[in-house]
């Protein structure tokens, strides 16, 4: 899986902290 795919899956995690970390990481990827 690509990094974006992995992060997107983590964004849907039942753990809110993990989901928020994934969303922040996806935003950083988009800003590249």
pLDDT tens column, 1-32: 688 899 889 999 899 999 999 999 999 998 98
Q: Could you give phi then psi for residue 29, rounded to 5 degrees?
A: -65, -40
Which of 22, 19, 27 shows the shortest CA–CA distance to 7?
Answer: 22
């Amino acid at each position: 899986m690509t990094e974006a795919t992995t992060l997107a899956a983590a964004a849907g995690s039942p753990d809110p902290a993990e989901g928020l970390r994934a969303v922040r990481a996806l935003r950083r990827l988009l800003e590249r």
